[in-house]
Structure 1
Amino acid sequence: MSTDREFVERVREAADIAQLMAERGIKLVRSGRRLRALCPFHREKTPSFYVEPELGLYHCFGCGASGDVIKFVMETEGMAFPEALDYLAERFGVPKPTKTPGREKPRPSEALEFAVKFFHEKLLSDEGREALEYLKSRGVTPESVNEFALGYAPGNNALLRAGHAEGFGIPELAAAGLVSRNQDGDWFDFFRHRIVFPVYSPSGRNILGFSARAIGNEEPKYLNTQETQYFRKGEILYGLWRARQEIRKAGEAILVEGNLDVVLSHQIGLVNAVAPLGTALTPSHARLIRKYAERLVIAFDGDQAGRSAARRGIPHLVQEGILVRVARLPEGEDPASLAAGGRGDVLEGAIRQGVDWLAFLMGFYPDSLEGKKGFERELAEIIKPLPPEEREAYLARARELLGYSQDWVAGVNRRLSEETPREKPREHNEAEVILMAHAVARAGEESFAAGLAMINPSDLTHPDARRLLEMHREGKGLDEIIRDESLGGKVSAILTAGAGLQDDIRTSFARLALETIYRGLARTISEAEASGDRDAANEAMARRTLLRRSISILNNLNDRRSLKYPQRRNAIVSRLMALIPTILSPSRTPGAISESFASTRAELDRIETLLANINNPDWEEKVSKENKGAESHGREKG
């Protein structure tokens, strides 16, 4: 584990997530071993926000917000990952890693800071003449070039060489997303012959990555830093570090499509403009905007693609409680072209006269009965998650647009209140994901660690379970897993909701481990029989017999008789799991195999005796005697 990884884990262990939430006015109420509260990320009347204090995780079953203590600070304080980590370290007294001169290499964040300076200097040099001329042709002033620290990436591994000269190795440059690797294993500059836009954290204190634009017709038009622990484009708004104070002052943000739209909007005084990084608007973007303003004007490009993108983003914004209007730009124009072409007044007028989102959506439907029904369906899907009083306000506005009676508002609102989300059918092997999530979260416990070491990912049937095990073996900690775009929310929901299984989680995970090994042995038997190796097939079948007996013990452990003795049950699980390597370890001679299997069967006999007497008052005394038998078994094996 690297020093940075260890530092992250120390911070997570030291930080008290419940205390942080209480300090921010979140009233947590005990609900079993978990805590419950009204969600701080969306408005609700019935608490659906749960906190698992032991693991330092939270999850809202209403809006889906989830994460650990680091992400909570990132979301509520508008900090980037490094800032949140440093804040928590200082808050809970965790010493930061110290650098040893000449030994420790610079951190990725320092490599990013170096890259900003390198790219900016290249833009202002002879090498960047074409890029600078392009920016001038688009109307970007020298002042904006400096204020936004715009740069030029020349390619030809210029950054890689310059980074090496400054003491940055491949690990730091790769972790910062500045270099990539080709199929031959050679490293090269990730950004080549592109104008680069540095992307900062909302506070402006940390550089997170870059968004780079092609100068000619090269595709893709925009290329962003690859996803890293610092850079997650679905959670970042370009220009927010320059716009956030003005957004708060105006109480309103302007959302444009691209980086140049932001730069040129700021040039003409629209300094509350921000943009997503070439990606569709996400719920995380909406939550980020909501931290700074309750009102937003979407000013996307004046073409069909821009209007469609605005339409897709509206549900996230409305469901976050933001009052949304949409600016109607002239056909074929965008904020950058209007600002650069001396038509800033047209852009400002379009923003000032923006229509509410309901009228905007109504424009997608024909003025017919069928068109009205289509609009009603889209409206219902957007406002269904909102509180009834908010739905009523939007329905009243929709009634005006549709020309319906007042009774329609009450009827639709009542129907939406009565509707409950249909539960998605659970996959037959969803238990694998639940168990694997708990296992990786508790990988420090012996019984879970043993199972994780035994399971072959290919023997798991659920792709999410396989990916979780692979991430664990890649050395990723729980904080990285729950920030994973595809799995993070699911893992947080599992861990904050409880086991999600009727049986004991440790026993169930041990059983999962043995069942996956059991399936793997079935393949071994088939392969041995296909090759005519009867000895290997018979040996694998004998191992399967012992595993089947072990699985039977675990099944019996979940019997009602043992439920009131969790410590006794855990002792049996640990003892059984310690026996599995003996069952699986290869033996060189038939005699050694027979002796090993006989000894293992004797140990299973002892474990079954302990299970049969698990309710006896003198059980612990009997365990002590049987432990001596287990030690004897180990000496026999040795």
Structure 2
Amino acid sequence: MSGFYFSQDKIDEVREAADIVEVIGSYITIKKTGKNYTALCPFHSEKKPSFVISPEKQIYHCFGCGASGNVFTFVMNYESVNFAEAVEILAKRYGIKVKVSSGTDDKIKKSLLKVNNFAFDFFKKHLNNTSGKKALDYVKKRKINRETVELFGIGYAPSGWSNLLNAARKEGISEKLLVQSGLIVKADSGKLYDTFRNRLIFTFYNTRGEKVAFAGRALGDDEPKYLNISETPLFKKRFTLYGLYQGKDAIRKEDRCLVVEGYMDLLALFQAGFKNVVAVSGTSLTDGQAQLLRKYTRNVYISFDADNPGKKAALKGISIFINNGLTPYVITLKGGKDPDEIIKKEGSEPFQKMIKHAEHFVDFKLRYLLSRYDAENPVDRTEIVKEMARTISYIKDMTERQMWVSSVARKLSIDETVLSGYRITAKQKSQFLPSILSSDELVHNLVALISLNPARYNEVYELLEETELLDDVAEKVLLYIKTRFDRASEVDVADVINMYENNSERERITAMIFSLKKENLPKMLTQYINKVKTISLKKRWENLKKEIKKNENDNNIVLPLLKEQQKIASILKKLGGNIDPEERV
């Protein structure tokens, strides 16, 4: 629904109705702490609350992972929806009627969903008629029951180059849409043909249950064995997990998710009662997939094949999961087996035991390194220590991190300080330190502060224009503030924060505003304004210095320049931005 839009008045109406404390409190447990509310952050794993909600400013900020925004951005991130959908969710909650208009992109998506629904019915029909006998036999051989076939939308694409194409043409579906859907391929010659031929079909659903894509497993000798459609406006592989739609409720309920490699692994586990499972389905795990899972749980149990590629995939998955705020555990599969084979031959009980004895990612990493390196060799030992120290550093909770430092140090027979010495330095809390900011950062902080005191808009705008420090970002923010101020509308500081596209900049500015006491705002604004003036004056000083050097033999030119330098030095002294002795002429 990304092309849908609302009038600003309607967005304002929803924002005014949707109290951020009430909305966030309906999703997670929050606690009043002074004038703010705190909670365990829903966007990264932590044991001590660093997520703060400000009812006064109607914004939230996590001092652990930097997540920040207003009521809309919270719903967007928690529900994995876009802005328009977040507005609709909140409008419905507060009984506000909103009218939406769709753009071209969303009309295309709607049309593609209709194409996919048609293809879904086509594949389902062919699985159940005589042409699908081979596919049904394969399904039965893999012990996939009828209920699972229905639930996961398994179908069959018959042999032949144009079965789906001809069926779609009869229904009046345009060739352009068929190609856009990825279900039909257009050759360089212009000829059209079916993407899937003689393949068992797997359906991809989004979290709302819409059919967004398909994949096919060859039932003959065709290569590749597994084939995904190309990316489309509906389907981005890096943001999609097979089985998440069917398993999301169980994942939330059990607060953990089993992550497997293939479709058959997932189907076998799901049938055996492990409903909290997703599959990366033949591709490397991505940040987008990890972020998607994080909406449902922070605990992931990786169950990849026991061969070397499987171990490497597990290691890569560990890095991606911990970088995105999840805690990975590794289920060790022995004897080169995969989950599907274990379930089929041994049943669910052995696999349940494997889950119970899954290794924390630190233990798994250490065991893997010890299997590859010689711990008695000083060079190898150093590599093991460095890699383990780096791995442990990703654990944000200090108590838990220290526990693992002690555990690994004991196993490697080394002093704990050796591991701690390699630890990544923790991020310092952002604070008001204008003296160490770049000129762009300084200006962006300043215009964000103006959202809290729009009456000083003209002063700041004129200063930035005069000093030539007004970039596109600052101008956009100031224009928004002026528009709201001129309309006598409240300036929403969260809207201002969201106008900064750079994540680290948003985090810095949110942290600054959170830590700002109302009574300190005038002083802080003055300090920032003085710092901007200082930058401009120092720039002029440097230009004068060059002019003086260039005309050092002409007193008539040099003397006025020196006087101007003296004047600048006097002003800078008052502003607290003295020229360093080595910078003087």
Contact 1:80-1:201 within 8 A present in 2 as well? no
CA distance in 2, matches of 1:65, 1:180: 41
Match of 2:387 among 354, 370, 378: 378
The residue identity in structure 2 corresponding to 1:388 is M
Partner of 1:280: 284
| Counterparts in 2 of 1:185 and 1:387: CA distance versus 1, 3 Å | farther
| Counterparts in 2 of 1:411 and 1:388: CA distance versus 1, 3 Å | farther
Contact 1:233-1:277 within 8 A present in 2 as well? no
**Structure-to-structure mapping, 1:572-611, within 5 angstroms:** none
The residue identity in structure 2 corresponding to 1:77 is E
**Structure-to-structure mapping, 1:535-550, within 5 angstroms:** none
| Counterparts in 2 of 1:48 and 1:228: CA distance versus 1, 3 Å | farther
Partner of 1:159: 164
**Structure-to-structure mapping, 1:206-225, within 5 angstroms:** 206-225=210-229
Give 1:364 deviation, angstroms. 2.2
The residue identity in structure 2 corresponding to 1:148 is F
| Residue 192 (1) aligns with residue 197 (2) | yes
User: TM-score if structure 1 supplies the norm length?
Assistant: 0.55
| Residue 24 (1) aligns with residue 24 (2) | yes
| Residue 232 (1) aligns with residue 236 (2) | yes
Give 1:88 deviation, angstroms. 6.3
Partner of 2:274: 270
Give 1:303 deviation, angstroms. 0.8
Partner of 1:403: 413
| Residue 133 (1) aligns with residue 137 (2) | yes
The residue identity in structure 2 corresponding to 1:380 is A
Partner of 2:467: none
Q: Secondary structure at the match of 1:279?
A: coil
Q: Secondary structure at the match of 2:328?
A: strand
CA offset digits 1:401-430 (Å, max 9, x no partner):
32334xx1x564465254779xxxx9xxxx
Give 1:269 deviation, angstroms. 1.8
| Counterparts in 2 of 1:64 and 1:170: CA distance versus 1, 3 Å | farther
The residue identity in structure 1 corresponding to 2:24 is R
User: TM-score if structure 2 supplies the norm length?
Assistant: 0.60
CA distance in 2, matches of 1:361, 1:333: 20
Contact 2:366-2:388 within 8 A present in 1 as well? no
| Counterparts in 2 of 1:151 and 1:41: CA distance versus 1, 3 Å | same
CA offset digits 1:38-70 (Å, max 9, x no partner):
97522589989999xxxxx99999869799998
Q: Percent identity?
A: 31
The residue identity in structure 2 corresponding to 1:200 is Y
Contact 1:152-1:196 within 8 A present in 2 as well? yes
| Counterparts in 2 of 1:286 and 1:165: CA distance versus 1, 3 Å | same
Match of 1:299 among 280, 303, 322: 303
| Counterparts in 2 of 1:4 and 1:415: CA distance versus 1, 3 Å | closer
CA offset digits 1:452-479 (Å, max 9, x no partner):
xxxxxxxxxxxxxxxxxxxxxxxxxxxx
Contact 1:437-1:494 within 8 A present in 2 as well? no
CA distance in 1, matches of 2:169, 2:475: 40
Partner of 1:416: 423
Contact 2:124-2:153 within 8 A present in 1 as well? yes
CA distance in 2, matches of 1:272, 1:265: 9
Give 1:112 deviation, angstroms. 2.1
| Counterparts in 2 of 1:290 and 1:400: CA distance versus 1, 3 Å | farther
Partner of 1:357: 361
The residue identity in structure 1 corresponding to 2:44 is H
Contact 1:123-1:152 within 8 A present in 2 as well? yes
CA distance in 2, matches of 1:98, 1:320: 33
Contact 1:264-1:339 within 8 A present in 2 as well? yes
The residue identity in structure 1 corresponding to 2:196 is F
Contact 2:231-2:237 within 8 A present in 1 as well? yes
**Structure-to-structure mapping, 1:387-466, within 5 angstroms:** 387-405=397-415, 408=416, 412-413=419-420, 416=423, 418=425
Q: Which shows bigger deviation, 342-351 or 78-87? A: 78-87
CA offset digits 1:557-607 (Å, max 9, x no partner):
xx989x9xxxxxxxxxxxxxxxxxxxxxxxxxxxxxxxxxxxxxxxxxxxx
Give 1:309 deviation, angstroms. 0.5
Flag structure 1 segments of 5+ consecutive residues without an equivalent.
28-36, 52-56, 427-433, 445-481, 483-488, 499-558, 564-638
The residue identity in structure 2 corresponding to 1:162 is A
Q: Which shows bigger deviation, 342-351 or 117-126? A: 342-351
The residue identity in structure 1 corresponding to 2:316 is R
CA distance in 2, matches of 1:358, 1:186: 53
Partner of 2:320: 316
| Counterparts in 2 of 1:374 and 1:4: CA distance versus 1, 3 Å | closer
Give 1:262 deviation, angstroms. 0.5
Contact 1:338-1:347 within 8 A present in 2 as well? yes
CA distance in 2, matches of 1:8, 1:395: 52
CA distance in 1, matches of 2:187, 2:262: 29
Match of 2:345 among 341, 356, 359: 341
Contact 1:59-1:492 within 8 A present in 2 as well? no
| Counterparts in 2 of 1:113 and 1:307: CA distance versus 1, 3 Å | same
CA distance in 2, matches of 1:70, 1:112: 30
| Counterparts in 2 of 1:351 and 1:420: CA distance versus 1, 3 Å | closer
Q: Secondary structure at the match of 1:329?
A: coil
Q: Secondary structure at the match of 1:359?
A: helix
The residue identity in structure 1 corresponding to 2:250 is E
Contact 2:330-2:359 within 8 A present in 1 as well? yes
Give 1:72 deviation, angstroms. 5.8
CA offset digits 1:123-171 (Å, max 9, x no partner):
1122222222222222222332122120112362333333343343345
CA distance in 2, matches of 1:143, 1:387: 43
CA-atom RMSD in angstroms: 5.2
| Counterparts in 2 of 1:268 and 1:315: CA distance versus 1, 3 Å | same
Contact 2:270-2:277 within 8 A present in 1 as well? yes
Give 1:494 deviation, angstroms. 7.1
Partner of 1:5: 3
CA offset digits 1:69-98 (Å, max 9, x no partner):
988645412559996686467566432459
CA distance in 2, matches of 1:111, 1:357: 43
| Counterparts in 2 of 1:79 and 1:394: CA distance versus 1, 3 Å | farther
Match of 1:95 among 90, 93, 99: 99
Q: Which shows bigger deviation, 113-122 or 8-17? A: 8-17
| Counterparts in 2 of 1:347 and 1:325: CA distance versus 1, 3 Å | same
CA distance in 2, matches of 1:440, 1:332: 58
Give 1:334 deviation, angstroms. 0.6
CA distance in 2, matches of 1:350, 1:281: 22
CA distance in 1, matches of 2:72, 2:281: 23
Contact 1:258-1:277 within 8 A present in 2 as well? yes
